[in-house]
Structure 1
Amino acid sequence: MSRNKVNYALIEDASYRKVSYNKRMKGILKKSDELKTLCDVEVATVIYGPYRNEPYTFPNNDVVRNTFIKVKELPTLERSKNMVTREEFTMQITSKGKEGK
């Protein structure tokens, strides 16, 4: 059974929007937990939303804070080793597409 294509647009009904937000948030948190468990990596998820006064953090505030501190303390070269600009990313994708033809 195939899924229908989702049309991304603002959900007008506020109660339906909140229900959809909560379902998707649960899905993101489940994926974060799976990634942490299956790949044995440190995961920090922060979700800001209109339905809470403070951000939701996964797994907890201390782990998230420590993860961000570790990233911030990395040397600039290590931190930006795999970072690319949007233009560089586009060039990489188009060059891979040309190689495949």
Structure 2
Amino acid sequence: MARKKVMLGWIAHDATRRATFKKWKRSLLKKVSELATLCSIDACAVVYGPEEEAPEVWPSPAETTRVAARFRAMPESDQSRKKTDQEGFLRQRAAKLREQLSRQDRGNRELEASLLSRPRSSCGWRR
């Protein structure tokens, strides 16, 4: 059964917002757990709640510290290899779309040239 699309936006009612936060947090932590298990990778999650004094950490504070230390020990170039900001993402997307448009234009020109170079066939009727 398909779910209805969730409209993202500020939830005005406090109780509803807290309940939604708890559900999404539980779902997020479950997905991180599944990702770590299925892909056999080191993963961790730190979630700061609006009304919680300490963040919730998965799988454990010690393991999260180990994974974060391993990440920080990597060279800066490896840490930011796949990071991008909004501007960089939009530049990459625009470049891909320009390349796609270029390929489509080239294909259209080739098709048009092949259609124009074909001899006309008689259609069987005359005026």
Unaligned runs of 5+ in 1: none
Letter of the structure 2 residue corresponding to residue 25 of structure 1: K
Q: Distance in 2 between matches of 1:30 and 1:97?
A: 35
Aligned to 1:29: 29
Count the aligned residue pairs. Answer: 101
Distance 1:49 1:70 in 2: 25
Q: Give the root-mean-square deviation of aligned CA atoms.
A: 1.6
Q: Aligned in 2, Cα 1:36/1:11: closer, same or farther, shift over 3 Å?
A: same
Structure 1 match to 2:93: 93
TM-score by length of 2: 0.71
Offset of 1:32 from its aligned partner?
A: 0.2
Q: Distance in 1 between matches of 2:87 and 2:32?
A: 28
Q: Gaps (5+ residues) in structure 2?
A: 102-127
Structure of higher CA gyration radius:
2
Higher relative contact order (CA 8 A, sep 6+): 1
TM-score where L is the length of structure 1: 0.87
- Give 1:72's aligned residue: 72
Other structure's SS at 1:89 match: helix
